[in-house]
A and B are shown apart, each in its own frame.
Chain A
Amino acid sequence: MSRMKFYCDDYRCIDCNGCVVACKEAHEIPVGVNRRRVITINEGIEGKQKSLSVACMHCSDAPCQKVCPTDCFYIRTDGIVLHDKDKCIGCGYCLYACPFGAPQFGHEGIFGVKGVMDKCTFCAGGPDETLSENEFEHYGQNRIAEGKIPMCASMCSTKALIAGDASEVDKIYEYRTAKRGDNTSLKPYGWEAYNNGK
């Protein structure tokens, strides 16, 4: 079985924040908690401005899980990294371990009563009964259980953000890079590439 993955195509992302709002609306997330964010670097600098939408990357070898003292994280067989808010003690270790700043510690409500971590669930709910009210209250919608892809990707204006089975995501990526014909697939996907302006 393949793993679920996000991919944000930096050649397409236009920093419209549609994904961010889609996520917040779908899960009724309080203001101040950001499961997804759009980062723009080199704003206004010709040839160097790039935007990218980031959330939890659902790492294969998730550092957050490694450092959690209460072992509240679990990785589903499809690779989605989830956590149990009832076990979380809010120590914040995962935030320091995560390379993407995905874990959120808000100040209000069940999503982030000070001390409880909230993060992107790949729209797959959490350990509570699937599609129950409790699950929605704690973790938001469970679109995966309904056979849908995450809200952010489904609402992305330009289809920069794609989500789903890694092998399918890879096919789309390969298709686009082949069409662009500039060997983007061979270029590093990271800050270095951006700083060189390509």
Chain B
Amino acid sequence: MANTLGYGGMTNHLGDMQNSKVILIMGANPAVNHPVGMQHILKGKENGAKIISIDPRYTKTSAHADLFARIRTGTDIAFLYGMIRYIVKNNLHDKQYLDERVFDWESIVVEAEQYTPDVVANVCGCTAEKFLEVVKLFAENSPGCLIWNQGWTQHTIGTSNTRLGPIMQMFLGNIGKVGGGCNILRGHDNVQGASDMANLSDILPGYYPINEGSWKYYSGQWQVDYEWLKGRFKTKDMMEKKGFALSTWPWGVIDDENAANNAGTPLKALICIGNGISTITMTHKTKEALDKLDLVVFIDPYVNDAAVITDRTDNMFLLPAASQVESSGSVAATNRSYQWRSQVVKPLYEAKEDHEILFEFAKRLGFYEEFTRSLKNGKPSYEWPEDATREFNRAVKTIGLQGVTPERMKRQQENWALFDPLTLRGSGVVEGEYYGLPWPCWSDKHPGTPIMYRTDVSVMEGGMGFRAGWTDKGPDGKPVVVAEKNGQTLLAVNEPAGSRFKGGHLEITADNIESFGITLTAEEKEKVKGKNWKNDNTYILVNKALEAGLCPYGNGKARARAWDWADQLPKHREPLHSFRQDLVAKYPTFEDKKDHYRTNIRYASEQNKQNWVADFPINVVTGRIVEHMGTGTETRASKYLAELAGEMYAHIHPTLAKKYGVDNGDMIWVHGTGEGKIKVKAVYSYSVAETDIFMPQNFSGLWSGKSLVDKYPKGTAPYALGENSNQVTSYGYDIVTACPETKCTLVRIEKA
């Protein structure tokens, strides 16, 4: 998304779905994963919206859809191209929108040409008629909203899915529109906040790239010396190199060849804070890595399931962390809204809030003073969590967190009733603010941006164009911001309402600001010399731009072609372990990729190693169940939830079950393409295709038929234990983000 539109955030918000005329849900199951969010979808339906569910399974969401189409996992791109082809052929595309706002959309039309309804039907496994029904219903109703979540991202081609989704939406002019948009639903509260704050290994907070410029910017923000900061790293190269990903780190421990990508050493220690690492694919590899490390630390309110999986007997520590009700501060919702959370009770027993644990680490590691300097920001002491919020208000300019101040958030918390759920607009004391100040919120006068990329409202009302800061390789090999590519402009042809400058423009810098009809005094000029909108601590550039109705990051075109990517245009590629071996030659995967998040990743060599489907003839879909959250660590410790969903199972179609002589309720062994195997109960269900089984991802505590209950520290075992489905999910990682391939997996089963 970020590489197509500019930002990776959900474009609209949940309440806005009530304004939609058609809602396409693909790779998502909100009735299970976002039950409260589902309320808005159902209200939208009552308002006349048609609901379309496209899924390998007939889910609880599908049960509320007007139209359901079952497709094979991992074939969304073929489906989307088929839609685009139909839309263009029938002149249903918004040509003016595309011309004004989308770079190189014409190439997409060419690429889409091959995806005729028959090709879509063959690749996706639905009928051509069903496909046509979907595309007609979606394209002929406006505005249309598109919803996805992990069903799209957890694939080798996940990033191509999340590019083609918005591109398809732009063909219909649905982005930057009330009731339209690309609504990626985040997995739980503050996922958006975690990525905004860079709980990722390839960025700094606010998505600043990890290069020298950003590190220098942040050493200024953190008020520490850049050289000192650099000295904390082994080399400058390592400082600017992407780290391991959540999915790839085990390979940094167990595969010696990756040491070369990691400054010459394998990984030796792991600190895991608030992360269910047992839900990553190939859990048996996670176990192997945990067994091999020198030191393992888990920081969690509950016992992390991974701590139970490992056989290690020493050098593993469990630090009890406070839960959400025992801590306070800002939390970002799926739609980029920030809300203030108050502490309900003080941490119980010896639990500590996360930041306190980190501060204790910093003290013992000898950099507590530097670590907290910018929290104090010149004062003798700091106030938690307000000063942490103020720190990101000052530092994170890229996504416009300047306006998301603790004072505004607290006032909103006291005045929930004054916001309209459909528009998020506040009234009374919160007039002039949208609920949660959804970013970008450019200043403490800015209302926030509930719907991104709208040009029918002014920037001060939440309007904006697409990103204008696309970069290309300069002569010295370093990225430079460019205004055109292949002879085509990257700047928009229209502008947000009320903009004093007509047409597109590059991001605001001290050098170009006056060319947009804005004047600076000599003193202002001096203050902002050499700066741009995202590193100017005086905010003069941003505020002057806002006054003139200009968006600080510029006004550019979305890009249909990502020229710096392996697949410049999204391409359908068969999964590494494809259910359709006959399609592998036509839609092969990528070449193997070296040093991808410090790991050498197999693509083609894994896909071609054998005819996988011959030995592993069953396709697997995994996902959450409504009673359990993530790994289920917390929810399986609830006696009521354990009562409702206390046992791991595999949904199997009766027709498939018959082939294996499996009765409803029989135990079966499920073998993955790796070495993992699990023993689960077969439960008959018509919700899965006759080729597939479905397994929940939320269980742990049983391991290949053996109970691990004795390994939990006394009194901490959850009520419900079960086999971990990720022991049998296959190898595979997204080509850009290294997101694990949980959704295209093959297995073989046998009656236990």
Binding site for B on A (CB under 8 A): 11-12, 14-18, 20-21, 24-25, 31-32, 43-46, 49-51, 157-159, 176, 179-181
User: What distance in Å separates the Cβ of B595 from its nearest Cβ neighbour in chain A?
Assistant: 43
Q: A12 to B35, alpha carbons, bound, how many Å?
A: 11
Q: List 28 A-B contacts (CB under 8 A).
A: A11-B42, A11-B46, A12-B42, A14-B32, A14-B42, A15-B31, A16-B35, A16-B626, A17-B626, A20-B644, A21-B644, A25-B640, A43-B686, A43-B687, A44-B686, A44-B688, A45-B686, A46-B58, A46-B62, A49-B58, A49-B60, A49-B63, A157-B35, A157-B39, A158-B42, A179-B46, A180-B45, A180-B46
Chain B residues with Cβ under 8 A from A24's Cβ? 640
A9 to B62, CA, bound (A): 17
Known contacts A31-B639, A32-B643, A44-B58; is-contact A157 B46 (Cβ 8 Å): no
Size of the B side of the interface (Cβ < 8 Å), in residues, is: 30
Contact of B687 among A11, A44, A179, A180 (CB under 8 A): A44
**A16 CA / B39 CA spacing, docked (Å):** 12
Q: Within 8 Å CB of A32, what residues of B? A: 643
Cα separation A44 to B654 with both chains bound (whole Å): 12
In the assembled complex, B194 has its CB within 8 A of some CB on chain A: no
Q: Is the CB of B60 within 8 A of A14?
A: yes
Contact residues in A for B68 (Cβ distance below 8 Å): 46
Q: Is B348 an interface residue (CB 8 A)?
A: no
In the bound assembly, the distance between CA atoms of A137 and B688 in angstroms comes to: 44
CA distance A134 to B644 in the complex (A): 28
Bound-state Cα–Cα, A159 to B626, Å: 17
> Cα distance A25–B641 when bound, in Å?
11
How far apart sit A49 and B57, CA to CA, in the bound complex (Å)?
A: 13
Assess whether B291 is interfacial by the CB under 8 Å rule: no
> What 1/0 flags go to B663-699 for Cβ under 8 Å of A?
0000000000000000000000111100000000000
Chain B residues contacting A45 (CB-CB under 8 Å) are 58, 686
Q: A140 → chain B, closest Cβ, in Å?
A: 14
Q: Determine the chain B residues whose CB is within 8 A of the CB of A43 once the complex forms.
A: 685-687
User: Chain A residue with minimal CB distance to B638?
Assistant: A21
Assembled-state Cα–Cα distance A161/B644 (Å): 19
Beyond A17-B626, A43-B687, A44-B58, is A158–B39 a contact (Cβ under 8 Å)?
A: yes
B64 lies within 8 A of chain A by Cβ = yes
Contact of B60 among A12, A15, A25, A180 (CB under 8 A): A15
Residues on B with beta carbons closer than 8 Å to the beta carbon of A25: 640
Q: What 3 A-B pairs have minimum CB-CB distances, sorted nearest first?
A: A44-B687, A44-B686, A157-B35
Q: Give chain B nearest CB distance to A180 CB in angstroms.
A: 6
| Closest-CB distance, A179 to chain B (whole angstroms) | 5
Q: Which residues of B contact A12 (CB under 8 A)?
A: 39, 42
CB proximity of A160 to chain B, nearest CB, Å: 8
**Could you tell me the distance in whole angstroms from the C-beta of A146 to the nearest C-beta in chain B?**
20
Bound-state Cα–Cα, A15 to B32, Å? 8
- A21-B644, A179-B46 known; A14 vs B64 contact (CB < 8 Å): yes
How far is B30's CA from A157's CA once the two chains are assembled, in angstroms? 11
Judging by beta carbons under 8 Å apart, are A157 and B644 in contact? no
Q: How far is the CA of A157 from the CA of B42 in the complex (A)?
A: 11
Query: Interface centre among A44, A50, A180, by most B CB within 10 Å?
Result: A44
Tell me the minimal C-beta distance from B493 to chain A in angstroms.
Answer: 40
How many Å from the CB of B435 to the closest CB on chain A? 19
Q: Are B640 and A44 in contact (CB under 8 A)?
A: no
User: Bound complex: CA of A31 vs CA of B643, how far in Å?
Assistant: 7
| A21:B640 contact, CB within 8 angstroms | yes
The residue of chain A having its C-beta at the shortest distance from the C-beta of B644 within the complex is A17
**Is B100 an interface position by the 8 A CB rule?**
no
- Interchain nearest-CB distance for B378 vs A (Å): 46
Is there a chain A Cβ closer than 8 Å to B627's Cβ? yes
- For B47, B626, B640, B688, the residue with the greatest tally of chain A CB atoms inside 10 Å of its CB is B640
In residues 71-93 of chain B, which contact A (Cβ within 8 Å)?
none
* B36 located at the interface, meaning its Cβ lies under 8 Å from any Cβ of chain A in the complex: yes
B638 contact set on A, CB distance < 8 A:
21
Known: A25-B640, A176-B46. 12 other contacts (CB 8 A): A11-B45, A16-B32, A21-B640, A32-B643, A44-B58, A49-B60, A51-B60, A157-B35, A157-B36, A158-B36, A158-B38, A159-B39
Distance in Å from the Cβ of A54 to the closest Cβ of chain B?
15
Interface string of B44-69 (1 = CB under 8 A from A): 01111000000000101111100010
Instruction: Write out, one digit per residue, whether chain B residues 611-640 have a CB within 8 A of any chain A CB (1) or not (0).
Output: 000000000000000110000000000111
CB closest residue in chain A, given B684: A44
Residues of chain A within 8 A of B48, CB atoms compared: 181
Nearest residue, chain B, Cβ from A12: B42
Q: How far is the CA of A74 from the CA of B47 in the complex (A)?
A: 42
In the complex formed, the residue of A with least CB distance to B686 is A44
**Docked-complex contact A14 and B31, CB < 8 angstroms:** yes
- Which A residues are in CB contact (< 8 Å) with B31? 14-16
**Which A-chain residue is minimally distant from B639 (CB atoms)?**
A31
Which residues from chain B contact A44 at a C-beta distance below 8 Å?
A: 58, 685-688
* Shortest Cβ gap from A132 to chain B (Å): 25
Q: B626 contacts which chain A residues (CB < 8 A)?
A: 14-17
Mark out the residues of chain B between 5 and 41 whose CB falls within 8 Å of any chain A CB in the assembled complex.
Answer: 31-32, 35-36, 38-39
Min C-beta distance of A76 to chain B, whole Å: 28
How far apart sit A45 and B46, CA to CA, in the bound complex (Å)?
A: 23
Of all chain B residues, the one with the shortest Cβ separation from A48 is B63
Contacts of A46 in B (CB 8 A): 58, 62, 68
Does the CB pair B47–A179 fall under 8 Å?
yes
A15 to B45: give the CA distance in the assembly, Å: 18
Tell me the smallest distance from the CB of B298 to a CB of chain A, in Å.
Answer: 27
> How many whole Å from B44's CB to the nearest CB in chain A?
11
| Chain A residues whose C-beta falls within 8 Å of the C-beta of B38 in the assembled complex | 14, 157-158
CB distance from A181 to the nearest CB of B (A): 8
Q: Which residues of B contact A15 (CB under 8 A)?
A: 31, 60, 626
Chain A nearest CB, measured from B535 CB (Å)? 43
Instruction: With both chains docked as a complex, state the minimum distance between the C-beta of A157 and any C-beta of chain B, in angstroms.
Output: 4
Inter-chain CA distance A43–B32, complex, in Å, is 14
CB closest chain-B residue, reference A14: B31
Least CB distance from B116 to A in Å reads 26
Give the residue name and chain of the B residue nearest to A25 (CB).
B640
Residues in A whose Cβ lies below 8 Å from that of B686: 43-45
Residues 363 to 385 of chain B near chain A (Cβ within 8 Å): none
User: Which residue of A11, A20, A158, A180 is within 8 Å of B35 (Cβ)?
Assistant: A158
Which chain B residues lie closer than 8 Å to A11 at the CB level?
Answer: 42, 45-46, 64
With a CB–CB cut-off of 8 A, which chain B residues contact A49?
58, 60, 63
Question: What chain B residues lie within 8 Å of A31 (beta carbons)?
Answer: 639-640, 643
Q: How far is the CA of A73 from the CA of B31 in the complex (A)?
A: 38
A11–B644 CA distance with the chains assembled, in angstroms: 23
Q: How far is the CA of A45 from the CA of B685 in the complex (A)?
A: 9
Q: In the bound complex, what is the Cα–Cα distance between A114 and B420 (angstroms)?
A: 50
Interface string of B473-509 (1 = CB under 8 A from A): 0000000000000000000000000000000000000
**Who on chain A is nearest to B627 by CB?**
A17
B residues in contact with A17, CB < 8 Å: 626-627, 644
Closest to B57 in A: A44
**Interchain CA distance A61-B489 in the complex, whole Å:** 75
A11, B51: Cα distance in complex, Å: 13
